[in-house]
Amino acid sequence: MNDREDRDTTATVDSIGRAFMRRLLAVPEGRRFMLSITVDAEEGDESGVFDQLAECVDDPVLRRVVMTHRDDEVRHASLFRGCLDRNGWEKVEVPDEMRVIREVADGAEPQERTITTPEDIVTAYALLLVIEERGVQRFGQIADAFRPHDPETADTYLQVARDERGHVRYCTRIGRHYAADEAAWDAAVARARAREGDAFGRVGVATLSYAHDRGWVDTGALLAEFSLPSA
């Protein structure tokens, strides 16, 4: 596949994702489910990554950046839980195959589950970087789809997306600080991007299937809109 074909494919996938999101969030059950997915993502530090990083990052200024990032994620989860509460909804249980942070973590090698060396810090921050970049991209799309139905929740997604842009800078700053050189940082980011991309793709397919099975989204009509055959 050449660069133009790759760009065209990326644009098509992005357009399908936006169309799916509009359909999903047009129904209350879909909006509740999306908020539940988002809460799980914001609370996804199941391995205590930030606490491990705070222990391992020896620069006191950078350690404060780690803790600020951690506290932001806790605050974001609270904001999205507030959106659920405002709508009179309880958070629903999200199946593991639709929890992107867990899917990314499941691809980790055993040695990546503990952070003790500068190389571990670089690996962790490369992964955090690509996850935050995905949040910036996706939260704007989700906000657009929420806007006709729940403008306040749409604004919450945009507010959090602004914070995520700051987190991208945090990740880059600390990752580069501990990388042996720029090439080492770039290589770590490339590996992380491939791993996160695979996980995001699996989660997307699982979410589409889940929404279709519950009658929230007609995937046949969605694919037909883009002249694609249904499965």
Output the domain CATH number for residue 215.
1.20.1260
The whole-number pLDDT of residue 111 equals 52
Mean pLDDT computed over every residue of the chain: 90
Amino acid letter for position 4: R
CA distance 205 to 186: 29
pTM given for the model: 0.88
Q: Which domain holds residue 133?
A: 15-225
The whole-number pLDDT of residue 25 equals 98
Is 23's pLDDT higher than 60?
A: yes
Collect all residues with Cβ–Cβ distance below 8 Å to 31 and sequence separation of at least 6.
24, 25, 87, 146, 149, 150, 153
Whether 8 maps to a domain, the answer reads no
Whether 118 maps to a domain, the answer reads yes
194-216 confidence digits (pLDDT tens): 999 999 999 999 999 999 999 99
Burial 46-61 (b: 16+ CB within 10 A, else e): ebebbebbbebbeeee
CA nearest to 132, candidates 183, 88, 175: 175
Whether 2 maps to a domain, the answer reads no
Q: Given pLDDT bands bounded at 50, 70 and 90, which one contains residue 83?
A: very high
Lowest mean pLDDT among 102-111, 161-170, 183-192: 102-111
Total domains in the fold of the chain: 1
Whether 1 maps to a domain, the answer reads no
Task: Give the relative orientation of helices 151-178 and 60-86 as an angle to the nearest 10 degrees.
Answer: 160
Whether 9 maps to a domain, the answer reads no
Q: Given pLDDT bands bounded at 50, 70 and 90, which one contains residue 217?
A: very high
Tokens coding 98: 């639709």
The DSSP code for 82 is: H
Whether 132 maps to a domain, the answer reads yes
The share of the chain scoring above pLDDT 90, in percent, equals: 76
